[in-house]
């Protein structure tokens, strides 16, 4: 884990953020002994956010499949 004093971190904030993104965590410390850990936030994604697949179906074929599914009777 890399460490930066407060002044260095402030002067090079963009590069400090990039290093935190690459390495996962960095420490920023102040003269009075206080220390802060900087970690990148995890991106929250929806479980429904999935990549689509190409089935090579036309819209009329898809509609036909949906209609068939709705007309089925389940016991």
Cβ atoms of 40 and 24 within 8 Å: the answer is yes
**pTM of the predicted model as reported, rounded to 2 decimal places:** 0.55
Q: Model confidence over 15-49: pLDDT tens digits?
A: 999 999 999 999 999 999 999 999 999 888 898 98
d(CA 23, CA 1): 8
pLDDT attached to residue 45 = 87
Cβ atoms of 19 and 28 within 8 Å: the answer is no
Over its C-alpha atoms, the chain yields an Rg (Å, rounded) of 26
What CATH topology corresponds to 1-41? YefM-like fold (3.40.1620)
């Amino acid at each position: 884990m890399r460490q930066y004093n407060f002044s260095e971190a402030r002067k090079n904030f963009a590069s400090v953020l990039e290093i935190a993104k690459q390495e996962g965590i960095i420490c920023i410390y102040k003269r009075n002994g206080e220390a802060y850990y900087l970690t990148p936030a995890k991106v929250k994604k929806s479980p429904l956010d999935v990549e689509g697949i190409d089935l090579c179906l036309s819209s009329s074929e898809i509609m036909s499949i949906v209609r068939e599914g709705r007309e089925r009777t389940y016991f």
